[in-house]
Amino acid sequence: MTTNNQPTPRTQVKRLPERGAYDHETIYSILDQAFLCHVGFVADGQPFVIPTGYGRAEDTLYIHGSTASRMLRSLEKSIPVCVTVTLLDGLVLARSAFHHSMNYRSVVILGSATVVAEREEKLRALRAVSEQIIPGRWDYVRQPSEQELKATIVLALPLAEASAKIRTGPPHDEAEDYALEIWAGVLPLHTVVEEPATDPELRVAVPCPAHVRSYLAPGRR
Amino acid sequence: MTTNNQPTPRTQVKRLPERGAYDHETIYSILDQAFLCHVGFVADGQPFVIPTGYGRAEDTLYIHGSTASRMLRSLEKSIPVCVTVTLLDGLVLARSAFHHSMNYRSVVILGSATVVAEREEKLRALRAVSEQIIPGRWDYVRQPSEQELKATIVLALPLAEASAKIRTGPPHDEAEDYALEIWAGVLPLHTVVEEPATDPELRVAVPCPAHVRSYLAPGRR
């Protein structure tokens, strides 16, 4: 299954359609620069939105299952979900209140998530989530025991129905407003990592490894 | 209407309940440090999750209506929504793959959003959203015209049923894993603002105002 290069009626960006994109490259590049998603699902008629980590492996998004049991109970039944990933790039400060905006890259994925039951796929999925969050960590740490594997639920969501939405650049004001004496522009935002805080309980003399020190290489957020 | 100081069956944090909080102070302090939320709603049985800006004014959350028309169509009917706000504070790097986590502060609000129809409340709500995103901006820019006001939909969601979930501090590993020669700790993450990028179309000599230069004061993300 592959991501549509054409929008479906449900993923078509309706407002400001020029901001919409549906190609693999755009969608995957946004997904690959983030690791936190917001999962939407319905339980007893009520929508819920839960933040959680994810990993992409080819045309599948894996969601680590250790979140609210309410979500897991719902998702195990393979009900419809929406997974949204948002990278906020800046505040767009226009001359008019009305034309203020944000620069962002977001992906919305619709589909049904299913539980990954097979052991080897589950391990691959967990590695994908771990590598998405911090590359190099998985091979460095103690691997999951069989008991831990059983206590972990991993969900797979095909990247079959997805759309990206992107805004970049300066504000777009009304023509007559450009004469106003009002400063306009963009406040770029990005996520930075501070110095790693070593666990006070670290009882052995272990140097901070390269995959931690080099975290947040340029282009990654 | 006020936020419950007790969880409802729907907002009770079920997994790791020690991370849950239901008091005004905790919930409002998280809401007041962010400005981006993810709104979940259901349309034709399908959940959707859309990122958008918000503003809090006392016990009401206002959502700026200029997002997908799909969302607005749904929300105008006052259907159930879930608004989730997430502040990511760090990656928690444990000795075992299983105990990896994130430090975060999140709020989940359940309720029904209604359209703000009255002109003065609408202006107050738009100011609240603007001030939440960048304090001082609203009074500096051109105010909305009547036409712009009409083109804007503002939604109000009472903060009546909400819960916060917070994780802080170092990893919690299995007792026997503390002897392993594995570096563990936290990678703190936060959002920073770069130098303001002046609109290339700025045709008048206007200095960058104080509310822009001083953006992201300590404690704000």
Per-residue pLDDT at A150 exceeds 60:
yes
In sequence order, the 6+-apart residues with CB closer than 8 A to the CB of A183 are A93, B198, B202, B206, B207, B208, B209, B212
Predicted confidence at residue B72, as pLDDT, reads 61
Encoded tokens for A113:
């998530």
Per-residue pLDDT at A166 exceeds 80:
yes
How many domains are there within chain A?
1
Q: Which residues of chain B carry a pLDDT beneath 50?
A: 1-4, 67-68, 218-221
**Which among A69, A179, A196 has the least Cβ separation from residue B187?**
A196
Q: Higher model confidence: residue A77 or residue A79?
A: A79
With CA atoms as reference, the chain A residue closest to B127 would be A97
Q: How would you classify residue B169: left for phi > 0, otherwise alpha for psi between -120 and 50, otherwise beta?
A: left
Q: Would residue B72 count as lying in a domain?
A: yes
CA-wise closest residue to B153 among B220, B205, B75, B91: B75
Q: Do A181 and B206 touch (CB under 8 A)?
A: yes
Q: Do B130 and A194 touch (CB under 8 A)?
A: no
CA-wise closest residue to A102 among B133, B209, B41, B92: B133
Q: Would residue A37 count as lying in a domain?
A: yes
H-helix or E-strand spanning residue B31: helix B24-33
In sequence order, the 6+-apart residues with CB closer than 8 A to the CB of B209 are A183, B136, B140
Q: Would residue A115 count as lying in a domain?
A: yes
Predicted confidence at residue A215, as pLDDT, reads 85
Q: Do B15 and A171 touch (CB under 8 A)?
A: no
B187 in Cβ contact with A134 (< 8 Å)? yes
B95 touches chain A (CB under 8 A): yes
CA distance B114 to chain A (A): 16
Supply the mean pLDDT for chain A. 88
> Chain A interface, mutation test: which of B85, B122, B141, B180, most A Cβ atoms within 10 Å?
B141
Residues of A in Cβ contact (< 8 Å) with B95: 141-142
The amino acid at residue A162 is: A
* ipTM value for the complex: 0.91
Q: Would residue A12 count as lying in a domain?
A: no
Q: Would residue B50 count as lying in a domain?
A: yes
Q: Higher model confidence: residue A125 or residue A22?
A: A125
- Sign of the four-CA dihedral A83, A85, A91, A94: negative
Residues of A in Cβ contact (< 8 Å) with B77: none
Q: Would residue A3 count as lying in a domain?
A: no
Question: How many inter-chain contacts (A to B, CB under 8 Å) are there?
Answer: 287
For residue B51, what is the domain's CATH number? Answer: 2.30.110.10
User: How many Å separate Cα A87 from the centre of its chain?
Assistant: 8
Predicted confidence at residue A64, as pLDDT, reads 82
Q: Would residue A220 count as lying in a domain?
A: no
Q: Would residue B73 count as lying in a domain?
A: yes
B33 touches chain A (CB under 8 A): no
Per-residue pLDDT at A111 exceeds 60:
yes
Pairing of the two strands A161-167 and A101-112: antiparallel
| Domain around A54 | 17-173+180-213
H-helix or E-strand spanning residue A93: strand A80-93
Per-residue pLDDT at A217 exceeds 60:
no
CA distance B31 to chain A (A): 15
> Chain B interface, mutation test: which of A73, A187, A211, most B Cβ atoms within 10 Å?
A187
Residues of A in Cβ contact (< 8 Å) with B164: none
